[in-house]
């Protein structure tokens, strides 16, 4: 589970350097997908959703590696192809995230442990909505050259950054909850008894 957190950390947090007129991410996205694949491998026996996500994560790892190598050598797709590929990669990335969250939710049902799946799903929906809205606003603003839309798109981008941080924090807490030793039945009974005991006068 910890590798899933670090995978999303690499995917969503970008620190770019200008190189050959292109931006080179020093936290490559393809490394993030490799970490996701390792995490899926470790958890594949706990939910079928982790197995279903693997081929899509492999495709994204290859795609992002090609983009990263292209940036190193100053090679990139033209604007139209780049825009189309950007939409496709965003859709696949969101689908991979959705599958992994479904895996966490299934693990919760099977183990009866709280892994914050519902909270994670809620934050994923917020992030997905902001990412799609930002893409649409940026596309329309570039075509129509409307300064107002550029300003709105900038606000959405900032909101997306906040949503990313909240999403990553949720994965961090989920990893902590997954790795925490399960509470024994005796400890749970003792805790319940102590909660039900009347306070002394």
Taking residues 154-168, report their average pLDDT. Answer: 92
3-state secondary structure 136-155: HHHHHHHHHCCHHHHHHHHH
For the record, the structure tokens of 197 come out as 């005991």
Q: What is the pLDDT of residue 22?
A: 60
Instruction: Give the separation between CA 146 and CA 160, rounded to whole angstroms.
Output: 21
Domain count, the chain: 1
Domain around 39? 2-176
Let me know if residue 122 belongs to a domain.
yes
Contact 10, 35 (CB under 8 A): yes
Q: What is the pLDDT of residue 26?
A: 79
- 99-110 pLDDT, tens digit per residue, is 999 999 999 999
Let me know if residue 182 belongs to a domain.
no
The residues, any chain, with a CB within 8 Å of residue 128's CB and separated by 6 or more, are 94, 97
Worst-scoring range by mean pLDDT, 5-14, 33-42, 64-73?
64-73
Let me know if residue 201 belongs to a domain.
no
Taking residues 136-156, report their average pLDDT. Answer: 77
Let me know if residue 190 belongs to a domain.
no
Q: What is the pLDDT of residue 82?
A: 78
């Amino acid at each position: 589970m910890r590798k899933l957190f670090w995978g999303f950390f690499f995917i969503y947090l970008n620190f770019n350097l200008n190189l050959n007129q292109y931006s080179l991410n020093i936290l490559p996205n393809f490394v993030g997908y490799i970490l996701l694949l390792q995490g899926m491998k470790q958890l594949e026996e706990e939910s079928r959703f982790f197995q279903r996500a693997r081929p899509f994560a492999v495709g994204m790892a290859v795609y992002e590696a090609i983009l990263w190598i292209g940036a190193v050598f100053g090679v990139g797709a033209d604007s139209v192809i780049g825009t189309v590929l950007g939409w496709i990669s965003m859709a696949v990335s969101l689908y991979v995230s959705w599958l992994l969250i479904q895996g966490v939710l299934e693990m919760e049902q099977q183990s009866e442990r709280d892994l914050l799946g519902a909270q994670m799903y809620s934050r994923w929906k917020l992030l997905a909505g902001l990412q799609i809205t930002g893409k649409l606003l940026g596309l329309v603003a570039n075509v129509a050259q409307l300064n107002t839309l550029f300003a709105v798109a900038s606000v959405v981008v900032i909101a997306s950054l906040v949503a990313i941080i909240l999403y990553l924090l949720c994965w961090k807490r989920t990893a902590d909850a997954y790795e925490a030793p399960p509470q024994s039945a005796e400890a749970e009974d003792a805790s319940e008894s102590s909660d039900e005991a009347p306070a002394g006068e």
